[in-house]
Amino acid sequence: MSRQRSDDLMIIWYHNTTSLIKLDIPFQIATFEKFIFLSEGGVQLPVTLEHILKRVRDLPPLPTSAMQLISLTKNPTTSAKDLEFVIGQDPALTAGILRQANSSFYGYARRISSLQEAVVLLGFQVIQGIAMSTAIAPLLKTQLVGYKINQEGLWKHSLLTAMAAKRLCQHRKLPYVEVAFTAGLLHDIGKLIISIYVREVGDYLLKKATESRLSYVELEGKVIGFDHAKVGGFLAESWNLPDELVAAISFHHSPSNAQNHEQLTSVIHVANGLAGLLGIGGGVDSLYNPIERKALDLLTLQESDLKLVLVDLNRFLLDPALFG
């Protein structure tokens, strides 16, 4: 497929094995609502719900250990023993946790050599967060060409969002710190599915994002048919994740549209915006998805609160072992 733009025409050439199609669209009236793109695989944009759901079903499930940890995170009676049992079933997870527990960030002079020791020294909640991020990391370490995200990018951005969400909860004394951390880790999973379409229309989305009053994620919805937040919600549902995670993922760019769990969703929205400001792995869309004033008001957050969280995130960046 090739595209040219003259002053007043957007021309798209699409070639498949049997025909060559030329679409001449007067540029002035080629609004995103009327625009039709054909992707490399011959998929017409906007895509259908059926097409998206098929791709959702084709994605591998979350690792078993991640699913078990999510259900533990939800349960307030979870004990250190429960956590150790789940982690102990997965040698790679145990190794990953010990590697992170020994990173300079946690500052222990002597080596932590067992899971039990790590729980005692770092605390149950810290280990729960490390375990969740270690279990989810393989899923997120994927290059997403459409969003110009390198192999480690989505993982780093997701971890920074999770850390920011955790800090915001602690700052506001909200009771669901670990759920917010998990929601932060998973908030952009829809990008795993949407990226192949963004690759086709990325230049157009960027151009429109600078010209129009619409955010990048709104343009995704209009041009591709579905935005990455909504598709992430489909994915979360297909993995049977709890309602609050589905809501936080689905509405992380529009928390005021969430019918339930608006406060948690607002935390993830603000955390994502802060992580995006660091310019690490958030993708080409980061600067075109603004933080909503309404979300800041709901959480009674001032600019000074946001600065504190940003200082914290910068501290994390000093220790690359955390992303290991």
The residues that touch Fe ion, with contacts defined as CB under 5 A, are 188, 272
Nearer to Fe ion, 119 or 267 (CB): 267
Nearer to Fe ion, 188 or 218 (CB): 188
Closer CB to Fe ion, 208 or 230, in the complex? 230
Rounded to 5 degrees, what are φ and ψ at 241?
-75, 155
* Bond from prior residue into 46 cis (ω within 30 degrees of 0): yes
20 forms bridges with which residues in the sheet? 15
The answer to whether 165 and 181 are in contact (CB under 8 A) is yes
**In the complex, minimum distance from the CB of residue 211 to Fe ion, in angstroms, rounded to a whole number:** 21
Residue 104 token pair: 């300079």
| DSSP code of residue 23 | E
Token pair in block for residue 233: 């919600």
3-state class (DSSP) for residue 10: strand
- Closest contact distance (angstroms) between CB of 158 and Fe ion is 7
Rounded least distance, CB 81 to Fe ion, Å? 34
CB of 25 to Fe ion, least distance (A): 29
What's the closest the beta carbon of residue 17 comes to Fe ion, in angstroms? 36
Q: Give the residue with the Cβ less far from Fe ion, 134 or 161.
A: 161
Rounded to whole angstroms, how far apart are CA atoms 102 and 118?
A: 9
The CB-of-164 to Fe ion minimum distance in angstroms stands at: 11
DSSP H helices, 113-260, are: 115-122, 124-140, 153-172, 177-186, 191-211, 216-224, 228-238, 243-250
What amino acid is encoded at 106 in this protein? Y
Element of type H or E holding 44: strand 44-45
Q: Which residue, 30 or 274, is less far from Fe ion as judged by CB?
A: 274
